[in-house]
Structure 1
Amino acid sequence: MYVPSHFAADQDAVTELLSNHGAANLVTSTERGLLATLLPFVYDPEAGDHGALLGHVARNNEQWLLPALGESLVIIQRSDAYISPSWYPSKAEHGRVVPTWNYTTAHVYGRLVIHDDPAWVEDLVRRLTTLHEATSEQPWTVDHAPARFIAGQLRAIVGVELLITRVEAKRKLSQNRPDADIDGVIAGLRGKGELDSADDVERAQQDPVRRS
Structure 2
Amino acid sequence: MYNSKPHQDHDLARLHQHMQQTRLAMLVSHGERGLLATHLPVLLTTSEGEFGTVHAHLARANPQWQDLASGAEALLVFPGDDAYVSPTYYPSKASNPKTVPTWNYTAVHAYGVAEVIHEAAPLLDIVTRLTDRHEQGRDTPWRVTDAPADYLDGMLRAIVGIRLPIARLQGARKLSQNRSAEDFAGVREGLGASRDPLDRQLAAHMRTL
The match for 2:21 is: 20
Alignment-derived partner of residue 2 in structure 1: 2
Count of aligned positions: 207
Compute the displacement of 1:69 (Å).
4.4
Letter in 1 for 2:87: P
Any conservation in 2 of the 1:80–1:197 contact (CA below 8 Å)? yes
Are the counterparts in 1 of residues 116 and 162 from structure 2 also a CA contact under 8 Å? Answer: yes
- Superposition deviation, residue 49 in structure 1: 4.2
Answering whether residue 70 of structure 2 is matched by residue 59 of structure 1, we say: no
Tell which deviates more after alignment, 190-199 or 126-135. 190-199
Q: Which amino acid aligns with 1:3?
A: N
Distance of aligned partners of 1:87 and 1:31 in 2 relative to their CA distance in 1, 3 Å threshold:
same
Deviation at 1:117, TM superposition (A): 1.8
Distance of 2:88 and 2:57 partners within structure 1: 43
Q: Classify the secondary structure of the residue corresponding to 1:65.
A: helix
Secondary structure at the aligned position of 1:75 is classed as strand
1:46 aligns with 47
Q: 1:116–1:159: 8 Å Cα contact kept in structure 2?
A: yes
Q: Residue 157 of structure 1 corresponds to which residue in structure 2?
A: 159
- Cα shift at 1:78: 1.3
Q: Percent identity?
A: 39
Q: Which moved more, 1:8-17 or 1:63-72?
A: 63-72
Moved more, 148-157 or 185-194: 185-194
User: Partner letter of residue 28 of structure 1?
Assistant: S
> What displacement does 1:76 show?
1.7
User: Displacement of 1:6 after TM fit?
Assistant: 1.9
Match of 2:100 in 1: 98
In 1, Cα distance between equivalents of 2:148 and 2:63: 29
Task: Please report how far the alpha carbon of residue 134 of structure 1 lies from its aligned counterpart in structure 2 after TM superposition.
Answer: 3.3
8 Å Cα contact 2:78-2:108 kept in structure 1: yes
Aligned residue among 73, 77, 80 for 1:78: 80
Secondary structure of the 1:77 match is strand
Q: Per the alignment, do residues 117 and 48 of structure 1 end up closer, same or farther by CA in structure 2, a change over 3 Å counting?
A: farther
1:185/1:198 contact within 8 Å kept? no
Is 1:125 the equivalent of 2:141?
no
TM-score by length of 1: 0.83
Note if 1:203 corresponds to 2:205.
yes
Change (3 A) 1:155 1:197: farther
CA distance in 2, matches of 1:186, 1:198: 9
What is the one-letter code of the residue matched to 1:126? Answer: T
| Conservation of the 8 A alpha-carbon contact between 2:51 and 2:169 | no
Deviating more after overlay: 185-194 vs 152-161: 185-194
Distance 1:165-1:184 versus aligned 2 partners, 3 A rule: same
